[in-house]
């Protein structure tokens, strides 16, 4: 990244912090609007304070291939002068959505992790870059956008120059996302639900779609095209994820229909089959997704004409699924 681009990014972070930091004392940064003084309290839905809570940071190979490459690809040479590989993924603790079936419940619900100062968070980002990460992948950043921005300001000033991925559950305020323009390179939002009844039942957020839809449209305005580098990995863009839930394919079809009507069909879509019952999943979700259910949704996406689909065929056998365990030093088991 050139010095001028670095300076532009830092200036944009300064402007974002000027606009958003006043909300810290009476937090309305996300749709929950808990109005907690996060400078002093660790309450509200996300149970977060002024500093970020980080569970783990690692090179991750379970994302879409354009984000993480392959685990058995060429290792970076000393000093990272060879090929980069792996997404430099930072799993933050807490969450503003709290889905009953969350596979990351150990960190989203149980809040496993530790409080990290802004300086250390920046050092972790730079360390991932030095390890050869393709990007810095911020998982569940919504409730921690302020400490993340403060850390990025430090990291950019010290040489961070790989893409920033905003990996979100989609339950965002479009007005907050507007302030991330020119800072985030790749948006990776979920669009979990269309039905307010379903989102209320499983995530306690009847307004999920009403909030997520304009936020994703703003992400598209900022990063409309998925831009790949010469190595086939993403440098900029938007990838919308949708996790298909058992017995809820009708809602998945409504999600696809909305995207097809509101965004270009070239918009990258990732249709995930990796659902497994976890944590507090209710009875109707206490089974994996079937191959037939997944096929119904992917066939619909193809009929609608989506041009850039990431699919997960063959993830229906339990031993093929990467179920994370955040009690382990390496939470994921990579497929060879």
Domain that holds residue 70: 52-112+126-144+158-320
In a domain, 88, yes or no: yes
On average, the pLDDT of the chain sits at 93
Task: Decide if 183 contacts 162 (C-beta within 8 A).
Answer: no
In a domain, 30, yes or no: no
In a domain, 195, yes or no: yes
pLDDT at residue number 93 = 97
The CATH number that applies at residue 299 is 3.20.20.70
Decide: residue 283, CB within 10 A, 0-12 exposed, 13-18 middle, 19+ buried.
exposed
In a domain, 7, yes or no: no
pLDDT (average), residues 23-33: 97
Task: Decide if 107 contacts 134 (C-beta within 8 A).
Answer: no
Tokens of 168: 């979100």
In a domain, 253, yes or no: yes
The pLDDT tens digits of the residues spanning 233-281 come to 999 999 999 999 999 999 999 999 999 999 999 999 999 999 999 999 9
pLDDT (average), residues 104-133: 96
Looking at the predicted structure, is the pLDDT value of residue 186 above 90?
yes
Task: Decide if 201 contacts 225 (C-beta within 8 A).
Answer: no
**Residue 260 to residue 294: CA distance in whole angstroms:** 18
The pLDDT tens digits of the residues spanning 318-328 come to 544 567 888 88
Q: In angstroms, what is the C-alpha Rg of the chain?
A: 19
User: Which candidate, 91, 165, 143, places its Cα nearest to that of 121?
Assistant: 91
* pLDDT band with cut points at 50, 70 and 90 for residue 289: very high
pLDDT at residue number 84 = 78
Phi then psi for residue 247, to 5 deg, are 65, 15
User: Which candidate, 52, 46, 25, places its Cα nearest to that of 37?
Assistant: 25
pLDDT (average), residues 140-153: 98
Which residues contact residue 118 at a Cβ distance below 8 angstroms, ignoring those fewer than 6 apart? Answer: 51, 52, 147, 150, 151, 154
Tokens of 149: 């921005």
Which has more pLDDT, 10 or 322? 10
In a domain, 11, yes or no: no
Looking at the predicted structure, is the pLDDT value of residue 73 above 70?
no
Which has more pLDDT, 75 or 29? 29
Looking at the predicted structure, is the pLDDT value of residue 42 above 60?
yes
In a domain, 91, yes or no: yes
pLDDT at residue number 327 = 86
pLDDT at residue number 320 = 47
- Say what percent of the chain tops pLDDT 90: 85
Domain count, the chain: 1
* pLDDT band with cut points at 50, 70 and 90 for residue 69: confident
User: Which candidate, 312, 258, 309, 266, places its Cα nearest to that of 289?
Assistant: 312
pLDDT (average), residues 76-97: 79
pLDDT at residue number 152 = 98
**Residue 16 to residue 10: CA distance in whole angstroms:** 10
As a whole number of Å, the end-to-end CA separation of the chain is 33
Neighbours of 117 (CB within 10 A): 13
- State the pTM of this model: 0.94
In a domain, 244, yes or no: yes
């Amino acid at each position: 990244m050139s010095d001028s681009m670095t300076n532009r990014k830092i200036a944009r972070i300064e402007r974002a912090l000027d606009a958003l930091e006043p909300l810290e004392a009476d937090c309305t940064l996300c749709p929950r609007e808990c109005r907690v003084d996060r400078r002093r309290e660790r309450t509200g839905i996300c149970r977060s304070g002024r500093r970020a809570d980080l569970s783990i940071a690692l090179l991750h190979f379970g994302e879409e291939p354009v984000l993480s490459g392959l685990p058995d690809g060429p290792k970076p040479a000393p000093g990272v002068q060879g090929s980069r590989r792996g997404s430099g993924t930072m799993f933050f603790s807490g969450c503003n959505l709290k889905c009953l079936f969350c596979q990351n419940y150990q960190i989203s619900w149980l809040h496993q992790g530790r409080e990290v100062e802004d300086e250390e968070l920046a050092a972790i980002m730079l360390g991932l870059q030095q390890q050869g990460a393709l990007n810095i992948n911020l998982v569940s950043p919504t409730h921690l956008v302020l400490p993340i921005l403060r850390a990025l300001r430090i990291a950019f000033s010290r040489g961070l120059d790989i893409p920033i991925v905003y990996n979100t559950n989609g339950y965002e305020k479009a007005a907050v996302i507007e302030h991330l323009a020119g800072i985030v390179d790749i948006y990776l939002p979920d669009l979990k639900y269309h039905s307010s009844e379903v989102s209320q039942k499983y995530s306690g957020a009847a307004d999920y779609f009403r909030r997520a839809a304009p936020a994703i449209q703003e992400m598209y305005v900022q990063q409309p095209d998925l831009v790949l580098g010469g190595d086939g990995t993403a440098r900029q863009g938007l990838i919308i994820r949708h996790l298909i839930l058992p017995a809820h394919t009708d809602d998945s079809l409504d999600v696809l229909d909305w995207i097809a009507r509101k965004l270009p069909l070239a918009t990258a879509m990732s249709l995930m089959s990796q659902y497994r019952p976890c944590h507090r999943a209710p009875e109707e979700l206490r089974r994996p997704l079937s191959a037939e259910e997944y096929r119904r949704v992917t066939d619909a996406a193809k009929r609608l004409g989506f041009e850039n689909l990431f699919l997960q065929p063959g993830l229906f056998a339990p031993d093929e699924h990467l179920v994370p365990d955040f009690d382990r030093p390496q939470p994921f088991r990579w497929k060879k």
